[in-house]
Amino acid sequence: MSIGLEMSLDTDVAAAVGAVPYGDRCFHLTVLHYGAADEVAAVVAGHSVWLDPMPNAGLLGALRKAGAWPRLLEAVDVAAASYEFKTAVRARRLTAEDHPALRDAMKYATRRPLATAFAFERRRVEVDMSVLNAAAFGCWGARVPEPDIL
């Protein structure tokens, strides 16, 4: 399982979503945590977590202290994760355990420009998008070989 992580814009909520690959580029999603940001490090302790470092900068110290390994995504990785997630949704290669925040985020998802590509809008939407970005980062991380952690 690969875990994606994202903090909400108001920094009160964090989402951790596990992505388990199966079949040909298919993923099953499970929301592991959607709640208080200061509790997410304990949930992902001992695991690699894929995240955009700027929106999650406030969590990096707690994640490392908990024994999680933050895998920092660059802008090009965020764009790739967003594109691949959108493609997987359209091709019906995603399944997910029912979670209201993920359902709402997918319903209201909109694109925002990111250099010459796109990412999912975080600001001008009706619901918190942290869980959607966490899902996209988890899927992207599942396609990248896991590093050897010593």
97 within a domain of the structure (yes/no): yes
Measure the CA angle with vertex 58, ends 30 and 132; round to 5°: 30
Residue-wise pLDDT tens digits, 34-54: 999 999 999 999 999 999 999
**Segments forming the whole domain that contains residue 9:** 2-142
Say what the pTM is: 0.88
* Whole-number pLDDT of residue 104: 83
3-state secondary structure of 145: coil
Count of the separate structural domains present in the chain: 1
100 within a domain of the structure (yes/no): yes
CATH at 36: 3.30.420.280
* Whole-number pLDDT of residue 143: 87
66 within a domain of the structure (yes/no): yes
149 within a domain of the structure (yes/no): no
* Whole-number pLDDT of residue 127: 82
148 within a domain of the structure (yes/no): no
The backbone region for 115, taken as left when phi is positive above 0, alpha when psi lies in -120 to 50, beta otherwise, is left
pLDDT at 121 over 80: no
User: 37 to each of 28, 43, 99, 116, 128, how far by Cα in Å?
Assistant: 24, 11, 18, 31, 13
- 41-50, 69-78, 137-146 — which one is most confidently predicted on average? 41-50
**Higher-confidence position of 111 and 106:** 106
**Mean pLDDT, to the nearest integer, of 89-100?**
93
Nearest to 148 by CA among 45, 69, 53: 69
Nearest to 37 by CA among 17, 15, 19: 15
123 within a domain of the structure (yes/no): yes
Specify whether the CB–CB gap between 114 and 75 falls below 8 A: yes
* Whole-number pLDDT of residue 117: 61
Looking at residue 99, the DSSP 8-state letter turns out to be: -
- The average confidence (pLDDT) of the chain is 88
Indicate the pLDDT class of residue 32, thresholds 50, 70 and 90.
very high
pLDDT at 27 over 70: yes
3-state secondary structure of 140: helix
